[in-house]
């Protein structure tokens, strides 16, 4: 996907997350799960594309962030704030499937996922990647 398409998708995810928060995140846990995950992957793909670390056809899969081995294998190159970015995405992915497919989760879990997403977005916006 092109950077512009990732940016459009990221903007949609941010809007959906903000909308879910305004309606009550505990009522929209699937939305939170799907869009924090999708938005996080869009952000890292934009970062990697802008730094020319991956080809336009390269696809980052959210499942990779559940495995340290997969992360090391697929995202072996260095870039600014890599460890912070990876750790935030891992924390989002740790809860993704539970939020999307599981029973209702506590507000504290939802809040943690949302906070981690917005911390990631802050790193993204502070870097050379800011186009939102």
Owner of token pair 């793909």: 45
Read off the pLDDT of each residue in 6-17 and give the average, rounded to a whole number: 97
pLDDT at residue 132 in the model: 43
Compute the distance between CA of residue 107 and CA of residue 3 in angstroms, rounded to an integer: 33
In a domain? residue 19 = yes
In a domain? residue 14 = yes
In a domain? residue 26 = yes
Percent of the chain with pLDDT strictly greater than 70: 96
In a domain? residue 132 = no
Model pLDDT for residues 72-94, shown as the tens digit of each residue: 999 999 999 999 999 999 999 99
Query: What residue numbers bound the domain in which 118 lies?
Result: 3-126
Please tell me the total count of domains within the chain.
1
Among 13-22, 51-60, 79-88, name the one with the lowest average pLDDT. 51-60
Residue 97 burial (CB < 10 Å; 0-12/13-18/19+)?
Answer: middle
pLDDT at residue 128 in the model: 58
In a domain? residue 131 = no
pLDDT at residue 129 in the model: 56
In a domain? residue 43 = yes
Among 41-45, 62-66, 126-130, name the one with the lowest average pLDDT. 126-130
Read off the pLDDT of each residue in 21-44 and give the average, rounded to a whole number: 97
pLDDT band with cut points at 50, 70 and 90 for residue 127: confident
**Does residue 131 surpass a pLDDT of 90?**
no
Kindly report the pTM of this predicted structure.
0.93
Contact between 89 and 44 (Cβ < 8 Å)? yes
**Does residue 24 surpass a pLDDT of 90?**
yes
């Amino acid at each position: 996907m092109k950077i512009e398409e990732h940016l459009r998708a990221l903007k949609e995810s941010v809007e959906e997350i903000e909308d879910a928060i305004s309606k009550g995140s505990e009522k929209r846990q699937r939305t939170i799960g799907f869009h924090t995950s999708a938005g996080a992957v869009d952000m890292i793909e934009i970062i990697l594309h802008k730094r020319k670390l991956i080809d336009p056809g390269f696809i980052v899969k959210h499942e990779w962030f559940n495995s340290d081995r997969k992360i090391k294998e697929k995202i072996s190159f260095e870039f600014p704030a890599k460890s912070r970015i990876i750790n935030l995405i891992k924390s989002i992915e740790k809860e993704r499937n539970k939020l999307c497919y599981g029973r209702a989760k506590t507000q504290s879990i939802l809040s943690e996922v949302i906070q981690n997403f917005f911390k990631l977005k802050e790193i993204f916006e502070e870097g050379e990647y800011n186009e939102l």
